[in-house]
Structures are given as C-alpha cells and as structure tokens.
Structure 1
C-alpha cells in the first residue's frame, strides 16, 4: 500500500481545517488517506523560493499545481498595462484553466513566499484516471467548481471596472458642462468689467492678471477632461480620440529634453466602430504607454501603429527613448 511522502503528509495534516466550500479551496478532506497517497504518488514535489516564477503568462504548459505551504501571487494582465493581483494560500490550486482546456496560460504565477508545491502533468493525470477513475472524476469536479467561482469573481472585477469607467465619463461631462462653462462665463464678465471707466490702472492690471490665470486654468482643465474621458471617444471613436490626444500632447508644454514628435498610423478602420469597451481599453493602453515613454524613457519620437481586421485589432507602440 502506498503512503504519503512525509513532507506532504505533514502539509496535509495542517490543511485539515480548510473547507472545500472556500472559493479557492481544494477539498483534500474529501479523499481517504489511500486516495491521497494515490494522488500524490504521481505528483512532483517542488520547493519554490520567494519571487520565483512558477508560470509565465501565455506559456503553453498545462501542469496543475497544489499549494501545500506558502503563498502564491497571481498576476493577471489588464488593458492599462498593469495587473490585477490575487494571493493564493495553502490548500488552493492554480493552473486549473490550462490544465482543463490546454490553452496558453492567462496569468503569471509568482511565489509570494517560500512555497511547497505539488504539480501534476497531463500524462500523470491520465495514469491516475486509468488506475483510479473515481478519484480523477472527483478531482475534475472540484477543479471545475474552483474555475467557475474564479471566473465569477473576475466578472465582478470587470463589472467594477465598467462602473469606474462610467464614473470617469460622468465626471468629465460634469467638468466640461458646468465647471469649464462657469470659468468661461467669469472670464467674459471680467472682460466686460474692464470697460468700466471708474477703474484705475492698478485695477485694470489686476483684471488682466486674473483673466490670464482663468484662461490658463480653463486650458488645464480641458486637458484634464481629455485625460479622464475624451468626448471624441464617445462621439467619433478611437482614432479621432487618439488623434486629439496626440495633438494636445504635442501642443502642450511637456518636461522633455527635446521636441516631441508623435505619429499615428491606423489601418482598416472604416465607418464601423469597435465595441465601446474595446475602444476604451485600447485608448487607455496607448495613453499610458505614451505617458511612460515621455516621463520615464524621455522619448522624443513615438510611433503608434493600429491595424484592425475582421478577426482582431493589433497595435504597436515604438519610441526612441532610453531603455529601462
């Protein structure tokens, strides 16, 4: 009769209190000692150091990982160039999506602390299926449940992101329709006030000074609104919004050693627009990439290439800035 490796037995003993009802939890308690011995007899046991990468995004591997000790960090890329990070604790599983569908990895997995991990490849699991079909079926059921709950959790994050985008749009409209209109009205009233013949030269000078400051504030506010949620993105689409954004950057005083030149080449964009969410995502990615090139790489030339076909939208961003 097979027995559990001592290091695994010790780890599982500390996991007895973990419930399979947890969204990320794997129900080890559902299996008998003999069944667990059969499962872990086909596993590879690994020790990972802090910050060591288990899986890279878009890898074509399909191994399944059980976290026995330590914590893992899941880094899921999002459109703005950043990541959504999640922590997995002992008693959880990772890699179930690629294990089940054999598609490339959709996230990067990094050891947040030193970890004890058990991994299973497809060949080993097929052997377990042949020898213990009931055990393999129960594992698949648990993996399907975990994947379903995780996807539901990501849907909630997406819904929150859409809500934030809606709030950006509302704020931009409020600033444009109310605050900027009020500033313009005050500027006009000050202009009319100058014709009051009872004012001395000092008062007229103060009016000119305040008027200029209001104009500068109005211009800066217009740039802020453009950054929060450009009206062109709603009214005219992605290319128009990007063109307007690039023009505002080249016309604006930017802290950069040299003159800034930005070019945009768009192919395949006709009258039909991309889905709203896709346009917004691409706009945010390009906007952030340009900001990074200017602020960190000190680029003087930035080239953006967008190509839309019936199947996909591809884009590249190149700059002559210094490497990171």
Structure 2
C-alpha cells in the first residue's frame, strides 16, 4: 500500500473513531441528531429515534419528516434549517408523534464542521413535555383562582351594597321613627302654646327642653353611626375608647379598652376609618354571635406595626366551618375583615376555641 493511501486510510479511521466517540457521548447524554445542510439525517441518537418512533433509518430521510407528518410544519422547519444553518437557532417546538402524543422540545440547532469542508447541523434537544404540562396546569389553577376571587369579589360587592342599603334603611327608620317623630311633636307643642295660659305654657316649654335634648341625642347617635366625629377630631385611639364605652352602655356588657403603649399618633384618614370599622365589626360579632359577657379591645404599637386585639369569653366557633360559609352573615363578616386588612397591607389572625372564646388580631403597618 502506498504511503499516501495508508495516511488517507488512517485519516478516515481517525475520523470514524472521532465520529463514533461523538455519537456515543451524545447518545448517553441528550436527544440529538446530526443533519446535513439540506435537512437530511446523517445520524440520530437512539433516545431521540425512540421518542420519535424513527425506525426506518435512511440517509435520504429528512429530519422534518421524522419530526412531524404535517406538511406545513415540515416546510416551516425546512425553511428554518435553510435560514439558520450558518447562524444556528434555539427555541421551543411542539410536535405530535405517530401515536398522536403531543411532545414539546427545547431545541438547539448548532452549525458544526466535522471535516474541513463538510458543514453539518447538530440538533440537541431536551424533552420539556412534562414542564409544559405543569406550566399549563399552573395557568389553569391561576385562572381558577382568579375566577374564584372574581366570584368572591362579586359576592362581597353585592353584600356591601346590601349592607349599605340595610344601613341606609336603618338610619332612615331611626330618623323617621325617632328624630322625625320628636320634631313633629316639637312642632305641635310649639303651635299649641297659648301665652294667655301662663301655667300650661310653662309646662309645655319645660317639656320642649326635654324633647330638644332627646332630639340632640338622637342626631348625635345617627351621626356617630355614620362617622364618629371623635375619629376625625382626635384619632383612632380616642375613638376606639369612645366606641367601647358607648357599646358597653347600649348592650350592658363589659366592654373594655386598653391602650397598652399609649398610642396617640394620627394616621391616614382612610387607614383610621378601616381600623375603626375592623374593631367595630369584631366587637359587634362578639356581641351578636359569641354570647359573651366580657369583651376587651387591646391597642399596642411598635416602630413599624399597630396591633389591635379583640378578645371575648363567648362560645367560640370552628374557624374552618366559618371560612367555608362565605354566604353566611358571619362568614361574610370575616371576608369583609380580610378585604379591609388587605387594603392596608396588614394581617389578620383569628383564633377560636369552642366554649372558651375568640381572639382576633389585626396587625397594620405604620407608614413613616
């Protein structure tokens, strides 16, 4: 054998050995395939061939035809090979194998030079089908969660409107049945005063004084129910103290207020209103549902948080069962609390033991 022929044979064997090493390394690592610039398969790894059900090995078989049976998709992939054979390409593709199963691949196409003048394209893939399934499931769960929140928000909105209507009707009845009737009586008494009858006139005037005091009290109560002036004048600590005093007198229950850290700061007006309504809702729940005789409201603060705790010695409840009853009055009460506390970027913690009592804690960040 001539020297040049021997060297050529050595080169061929070395090239074949290198190619076998490359193929073996790729076989055991990734889904891969080597294709020529026209898209024909040079070599396909065993794992990749198994995934694509490729059994009829042929040097003339196009990679696009193995990837998909859809002619349009084949043309698109052939075009991609033609356009990106010099620069390479990376992206996600979806294929459907012969068993009609959807497969997602994260595919990289890299131009390589096997011999000095022989360009090939190295296709390296990762099977991301399970990842895509998980991604779709996450999207589905998020959509379900969003839908649930929207539905919950609709329920809350309708209950808010309903409560507003009920509150307006209650205030309207208070004004009509209380203040309105007293004002009507005041008018009749004034019209009936006969100054010629001094004794009766003096009696009626004394009664008018008492009636006027009752009307003033009624107006103040209506105003307090709408928006306590104490809140806008002196802030949350003072208004919570007045709230507990007033509710204690009205209900006959022992309702006490403790300002543990002597908090006297003023906060944003909307924050103060929401804190007040949270405390009011928690105390009203204790009065209405807990059958408690003792209720305490504790106010404390640090540099960053304001904490309000409402405790009662009532009958308690099962928290899980109440959370499930979004449409019940008590369930909606807790939903309103959570909505208000979320508005303030705060947290609410509800602890209750049946037959022992309930503690509700509100933590609200204090913005400097």
Using the size of structure 1 for normalisation, the TM-score is 0.41
Between Structure 1 and Structure 2, the one with more helix by share is 2
- Whose RCO is larger (CA < 8 A, sep 6+)? 1
